[in-house]
Amino acid sequence: MAWNDERVELLKKLWSEGLSASQIAGRLGGVTRNAVIGKVHRLGLSGRATTSRMKSHRPRTRTAANARRVQQKTRFAPQGNPALRALYQPEAEPFTPSVEELVIPPKERRTIQTLTECSCRWPIGDPQAADFHFCGKTKVAGLPYCEFHARRAFQPPQPRRREREIQEPRIPALAAQGSEDKESADV
DNA sequence: CCCTGATTCGC
DNA sequence: GCGAATCAGG
């Protein structure tokens, strides 16, 4: 949605009336709170009181508090269970599973009834549906999943582009064999 | 957890 | 110029 004159005027008005950025975004529609704040800054009408010492030079290092928040929001790196933590490889390339790995042949499938001690407990399908089942392959010792699904469960977060660019370049030969790079599909 | 504005920087 | 992601704080 573009910032036409009309919308900008409304933005100025609401901002001067003291509405918060998210409230303004809600009234304008089609924009987020961030968009509103960004626009307010570019229009040069910011200066809404934030604690004065807040705006002085902000360190670029992420603080523990925000790191925790971000981590909550984004992805789960296992923290409690050492066995799971060992499996978590922050440097690993994300991978795209093949169809063969994704589809469990009906004969190998396990239901809650036929699940055994050593069956991989990765759920597949809609639990409400008749064909809901578990992977059923052999578990990795100490984990609830087979090797494939354990890796799947603890795939590292996709690095942000900014960070990615300062990382080592991908080697085509290695990248080709492991992954096609793709968004992580949901099962 | 909810929220606020401020800032950076890939696009 | 735009705005998501992030930061810093209430």
Asked if the structure places residue A33 within a domain, the reply is: yes
Asked if the structure places residue A77 within a domain, the reply is: no
Confidence of residue A73 (pLDDT cuts 50, 70, 90): low
Asked if the structure places residue A76 within a domain, the reply is: no
Least confident of A38-52, A95-109, A129-143, A162-176: A162-176
What pLDDT is attached to residue A38?
94
Q: Which CB contacts under 8 angstroms, 24+ apart, belong to A72-81?
A: A74/A157, A75/A155, A75/A156, A75/A157, A76/A154, A77/A154, A77/A156, A77/A157, A78/A154
Query: How many domains are contained in chain A?
Result: 2
What pLDDT is attached to residue A173?
33
What pLDDT is attached to residue A78?
47
Query: Averaged over A72-92, what is the pLDDT?
Result: 50
Q: How far is the CA of A63 from the C1' of C4 (A)?
A: 19
Q: Which carries the bigger pLDDT value, residue A16 or residue A52?
A: A16
Q: Which carries the bigger pLDDT value, residue A89 or residue A145?
A: A145
Asked if the structure places residue A108 within a domain, the reply is: no
Asked if the structure places residue A140 within a domain, the reply is: yes
Asked if the structure places residue A41 within a domain, the reply is: yes
Q: How far is the CA of A69 from the C1' of B1 (A)?
A: 11
List protein-proximal bases of chain C (any atom < 7 A from a CB): 1-10
- C-alpha dihedral, A144 to A148 to A152 to A155, nearest 10°: 110
Query: Averaged over A48-54, what is the pLDDT?
Result: 47
Nucleotide closest to residue A55 (CA–C1'): B6
What pLDDT is attached to residue A56?
38
Residue A5 has pLDDT above 70, yes or no: yes
Asked if the structure places residue A160 within a domain, the reply is: no
Residue A101 has pLDDT above 60, yes or no: yes
Report angle CA A19, A21, A24 to the nearest 5 degrees: 65
Owning domain of residue A139: 123-153
Q: How far is the CA of A42 from the C1' of C1 (A)?
A: 8
Q: How far is the CA of A115 from the C1' of C4 (A)?
A: 44
Query: Averaged over A103-127, what is the pLDDT?
Result: 90
**Residue A119's beta-bridge partner residues?**
A138
List, in order, residues 6 or more apart from A151 with CB less than 8 Å away: A87, A95
Nucleotide closest to residue A49 (CA–C1'): B5
Asked if the structure places residue A129 within a domain, the reply is: yes
Confidence of residue A76 (pLDDT cuts 50, 70, 90): very low
Q: How far is the CA of A55 from the C1' of C9 (A)?
A: 11
Query: From the Cβ of A164, is strand B under 7 Å away?
Result: no
Neighbours of A113 (CB within 10 A): 5
Residue A30 has pLDDT above 60, yes or no: yes
**Taking all atoms of strand C, which protein residues have CB closer than 7 Å?**
A 1-3, 31-32, 34-35, 37-39, 42, 51, 53-54, 58-63, 65-67, 70, 74, 160
